[in-house]
Amino acid sequence: MAELSEAINLDEIAVGLPRRIHEVTARQVAKAPGRIALVEDGASWSYRDLDQRVSEIATVLSSLGIRAGDRMILVSENCIALAALLLAASRLDAWAIVANPRLSARELDQIRDHSGARRMFFTSGTSKEAAAHASRYGAGNQQIGPLQEVGVGPLNESATVEPVEADPQKQVAVLIYTSGTTGTPKGVMLSHDNLLISAKTTAFIRKMNEDDKIYLVLPISHIVGISLLIMTLMTGGTVRMVSKYDPAATAMAIAEEGVTILNGVPATYQRLLEYKSVSGVKQLDRGSLRLIGVAGAPLDLNLKLRVEKELGLPLLNGYGITECSPGISGVRFDAPRADQAVGTLLPGVEARVRTLDGIPMARGEVGELHVRGRNVMRGYYRAPELTAKAIDSEGWFNTGDLARFDGDCLYIVGRTKEMIIRSGFNVYPAEAEAVLSSHKEVVQCAVVGRAADGNEEIVAFVQLLAGSQATPEDLMSFMRSQLTSYKRPSKIIVLDALPATSTGKILKHKLAEALCGEVPPAQAAPLRRQQI
């Protein structure tokens, strides 16, 4: 298949792109300094406030021993303090590592040790989980410029600095640790240019401007949250910070606070509809909402239709991964779709589809998706072998996702490592998951493979609606008429909840480990003993 790329001229979009992420506020500071940049419960900062206070914070960080080229860990929920610390790190040319406070002590220790961080900072005043971590590390609360109650961890005297690059394409802005499907954390090095170009192109296709107010519930500890923050400040809009997702609070904010853009994972919208159902609200008030986007997990068509009917807006599906800052493709604001496509490539992104052996695929065939562009990471920190496996000598990054193109529209079929080979047939879990998800009693599901007598069997894990009387036998019968025999699960296990990340992405490797006996099922998810 020929390489595909967006026809829109990237150079035109990138005009005026700053060299560092903290500089995204400069235009608004000069043009409308009193405009509100950041809002959280009980506080708001204007663009003038943000610019001045980030400068103050950077000065204090420097006095605390943070140098250009240092790694600094920010353990925090979404809040104004986190955004300010992130931008202050950029002013110092330090690398920011944003960590979700809901990580375990072991996971945080892994990140600290691997990154060789100079210091850890905890927004103890706004997160009890961050405060608990701060206590464990012996981080006493201090005032950092305008920020109150920030836990400051001990100085790592042995920390070494990384070289500082003037070129924004080479200077690392953030180091994001992702476990992927293996469970072993990898540090993804994203440069300032990676983040800026991805944010600018996404804002471009969404037609964002200073009148937009984004409801930022996706965590800034993940790449999507960081990108949404940057693109909103870049376009002069307002970021409504949300520390923890509460569907009732979200519904109220949309109705009353002038929110224009909501981004989420499928679970974000599923829980919003559940809230509407149990609260007895006749119809959710969409207020000023003009755009709703979804990414991060396969989108069930039934959920898409229900959300669109409820809010009266198309639910725009998108696709991206941490290593690509994250944007790869998205359904256009002015060209909504009725299917599960993840849209067309973002400006400047090239893509190709290959067999597992690297042979080009014919148009429309399923293969591994490789992408190339200014959005692709610099590499994995302190892991040159992993980087070489992921990015070839021509700059093509292997996403590890199985995909196909229909014209210029991209469809994600599943993960390469998740593909199940059953009796010689390739089975893509996403297909079985789509059928299961269409059952009216199913909240979410995950399909994994398990080795069995020289073959692979298919096992489905399902979470049902509260109070559902559906049985695994009912679900199996439902699938029987919609999938050929080799694509159907040989076992369906009903769980009270599926293990997931803080963004709602299901942790399939946990389920696979439980099947192999490596993790007790109770640790993978609370197991309702109902299976066939």
Compute the distance between CA of residue 150 and CA of residue 121 in angstroms, rounded to an integer.
Answer: 7
What tens digit of pLDDT does each residue of 90-131 get? 999 999 999 999 888 988 999 999 999 999 999 999 999 999
pLDDT score, position 195: 98
Q: Is residue 278 part of a domain?
A: no
How many C-beta atoms lie closer than 10 Å to residue 349's C-beta?
Answer: 25
Q: Is residue 395 part of a domain?
A: no
Q: Is residue 515 part of a domain?
A: yes
Candidates 209, 236, 210; CA nearest to 29 is 236
Q: Which of 127, 152, 167 is the last residue of a domain?
A: 167
* Residue 493 neighbours by CB under 8 Å, 6+ apart: 459, 460, 461, 462, 472, 527, 530, 531
Q: Is residue 489 part of a domain?
A: yes
**Residue 470 domain boundaries:** 420-531
Number of domains, the chain: 2
Q: Is residue 206 part of a domain?
A: no
Q: Is residue 92 part of a domain?
A: yes
Q: Is residue 117 part of a domain?
A: yes
Q: Which residue has the tokens 């981004």?
A: 263
* Residue 148 neighbours by CB under 8 Å, 6+ apart: 125
Task: Round the average pLDDT of the chain to a whole number and report it.
Answer: 92
What tens digit of pLDDT does each residue of 202-255 get? 999 999 999 999 999 999 999 999 999 999 999 999 999 999 999 999 999 999
Cβ atoms of residues 118 and 155 within 8 Å: yes
What tens digit of pLDDT does each residue of 422-463 get? 877 778 898 899 899 999 999 999 999 998 877 889 999 999
Compute the distance between CA of residue 106 and CA of residue 111 in angstroms, rounded to an integer.
Answer: 9
CATH classification of the domain holding 104: 3.40.50.980
Classify each residue of 245-272 as buried b or exposed e, where b means 16 or more C-beta atoms within 10 Å of its C-beta.
bebeebbebbbeeebbbbbbbbbbbbbb
What tens digit of pLDDT does each residue of 348-386 get? 999 999 998 899 999 899 999 999 999 999 999 999 999
* Residue 282 neighbours by CB under 8 Å, 6+ apart: none
Q: Which residue has the tokens 């900062």?
A: 45
CATH classification of the domain holding 507: 3.30.300.30
What tens digit of pLDDT does each residue of 36-58 get? 999 999 999 999 999 999 999 99
Over 90: is that where the pLDDT of 484 sits? Answer: no
What tens digit of pLDDT does each residue of 304-363 get? 999 999 999 999 999 999 999 999 999 998 999 999 999 999 999 999 999 988 999 998
Helix residue spans in 4-150 (DSSP H) = 10-13, 26-31, 47-63, 80-91, 105-115, 128-137
Q: Which of 167, 183, 212 is the last residue of a domain?
A: 167
Q: Is residue 107 part of a domain?
A: yes
Q: Which of 135, 167, 199 is the last residue of a domain?
A: 167
pLDDT score, position 531: 54
Over 80: is that where the pLDDT of 408 sits? Answer: yes
Could you say which DSSP state residue 362 is in? P
| Residue 215 φ/ψ, nearest 5 degrees | -90, 100
pTM equals 0.86
Candidates 48, 57, 60; CA nearest to 83 is 57
Residue 184's pLDDT band, with cuts at 50, 70 and 90, is low
